[in-house]
Structure 1
Amino acid sequence: MEQTRAGQSSERLGFLTDAVLAIAMTLLVIEIPRPEGSYFDLGPDTSGTQAASHLWQFLVHEAGAFYSYVLAFFVLWIVWRQHHTVLDRLSYVPSLMMVLHFPLLLLAGFLPFATAIMGHHPGNPLATLLFGVVVFLLMLCRSGVQSAAARSGALSDDTPAQRLERTACWVVTGYWGLTMPIAWLTPWVQVLWFFSGAVGHAFARLALSREVPRRRPTRGNGC
């Protein structure tokens, strides 16, 4: 078993990851355009209804930015949640897992920039593709971190349910990668990306439903 070395403690790694992801989540909302100027204010020639109409038109125009924000925040939330779960079960940080954190955090910090571009230019295929590539690589690193922790034997426990969760993460990563070419054809691929979590959940439920009947005869024989 690999021994813990200086600079590879799970606590410090968790603090750094939490900080980077928290800052990235905050930057997402900072990149959303704000309504500025007297066009949105009440004035001698602008009634409250007109000002509200101007603001509503602005919000509708920036709907892509709001949707991109929610999608990117959802991705970072899932990454943080799964990363937190893995760290809680680590007895030490494997070297490969430590190495994979460099691209993981690099991509997480870059995601607000890619999100802002897609939000400002939702119809641009390159903007959508850039966002998709960044998230795909981020998910690839996320799944790699989980697999590296499991293969090294660093996890304090590794149940079938947890192994199934890792497989579901790889399925979601593959799903995201398969849908990326569609980004060049239509920005509506963002809808498919938003359901990537549901794809992973459905896969886990299906795999679990197939696993349960296999165990029932064993339990019956045991009784």
Structure 2
Amino acid sequence: MTDDQGRIRPGHTPERVGFFTDAVFAIAMTLLVIEIPRPEGDEAFSVGDGVSKAAAARHLWDFFIAQTGSFVAYLLAFFMLWTAWRQHHRLFDRLDRLSPGLVGWHFPLLLLIGFLPYPTTVYGHHTDNPAAALLFVLSFGGLLIARSGVQSQALRDNLLRTPADAAEVRTGARASWIVAGYWLASVLLCWWTPWVIVAWVLTPVIGFALARGDRRRDTSIGSG
């Protein structure tokens, strides 16, 4: 947004919002690992006092196997956040200013990014509980909607530097809304946990296929 002299109004420069969003992403991605249980305070994991190296290693291995759900939830949430961050980064590299609507979309986006470590922990500890899966899918589904809203708002408010930038963002926004809908549709599978995670793991593949298909279609239309 600019004033009457064409200058960007205070609070509408992309740099500060981009830096702050990067920080929230980084903190949330770091916090994902905090709640994964650690083998502390159990003598069975230490060699000595009648515990052999083989027994200690076996006990520790069994402990890691018991935390499989937490590790899988961590990897999934980290990868999805990383993907969302990369898309946000690419978008902000194409902006020369912000609008009130675009700034407003960042409130739910950052709120859900900061909240995501909690449902990730709950689901990681209780992968067989439909309520835990529901909390996770709704939290990340809301994040995907907010991410898509940011992209669409940039297009509506004509904030992109060049027409080529707008075309690429439009392609990404279409794919982003479809992925958000796909993710929320997996709510129907939450009762059959942990199998719902198969649908979640396929999310990046679907997003990539949609974006690639849109790019090919736009290219063929442009050449035609």
**TM more than 0.5:** yes
1:32 and 2:36 aligned: yes
1:97 counterpart residue number? 102
Aligned to 1:6: 10
For the 8 Å contact 2:123–2:136, the answer to whether it is kept is yes
* 1:215 Cα deviation from its structure 2 partner: 4.7
CA contact (8 A) 2:155 2:169 kept: no
Unmatched 5+ stretches in structure 1: 219-223
Which amino acid in 2 is paired with 1:162?
V
1:173 aligns with 2:180: yes
**Are 2:91 and 2:169, in contact at CA under 8 Å, matched by a contact in 1?**
no
Q: Which moved more, 1:187-196 or 1:112-121?
A: 187-196
1:187 CA displacement: 2.2
Gap change, CA 1:214 and 1:104, over 3 Å in 2: closer
Q: Hey, what's the Cα distance between the residues in 2 that align with 1:145 and 1:11?
A: 15
The answer to which of 83-92 and 61-70 deviates more is 83-92
Spell out, residue by residue over 1:31-89, the C-alpha distance to the aligned partner (whole angstroms, 9 max, x if none).
11101121211013111111111011011100000000001101111111111111111
* TM superposition shift of 1:94: 1.0
Residue 193 of structure 1: aligned partner? 200
Across the aligned residues of Structure 1 and Structure 2, the Cα RMSD in angstroms comes to 1.6
How far residue 181 of structure 1 moved from its aligned partner, in angstroms, is 1.8
Higher mean alpha-carbon deviation, 113-122 vs 149-158, is at: 149-158
Residue aligning to 1:221: none
CA contact (8 A) 1:125 1:186 kept: yes
5+ residue gaps in structure 2? none
Give distance in 2, aligned partners of 1:205 and 1:98.
28
**Among residues 58, 67, 90, which one is paired with 1:62 in the alignment?**
67
1:19 is matched with 23
Taking only the aligned residue pairs, the percentage that are identical comes to: 47
**Matched position secondary structure for 2:79:** helix
User: 1:205 & 1:141 partners in 2: Cα distance?
Assistant: 22
Determine if the alignment matches structure 1 residue 162 to structure 2 residue 166.
no
Out of 82-91 and 178-187, give the one that drifted further: 178-187
Q: Residues 80-114 of structure 1, C-alpha deviation per residue, up to 9 Å, x if partnerless?
A: 11111111111111111101111111100000011
Point out the more displaced range, 71-80 or 207-216: 207-216
CA pair 118-158 structure 1, distance change in 2 beyond 3 A: farther
- Give CA-to-partner distance per residue, 1:150-194, whole Å, 9 cap, x none: 110111124333321221111111110111221133221112111
For 1:44, the aligned partner's letter is D
Matched residue SS, 1:6: coil
Q: TM-score, normalised by structure 2?
A: 0.91
Q: Distance in 2 between matches of 1:193 and 1:157?
A: 34
CA distance in 2, matches of 1:29, 1:56: 19
- Number of residue pairs matched by the alignment: 217
Q: Which residue of 1 aligns with 2:145?
A: 140
Which of these residues, 70, 78, 85, is aligned with residue 73 of structure 1?
Answer: 78
- 1:151 is aligned to 156
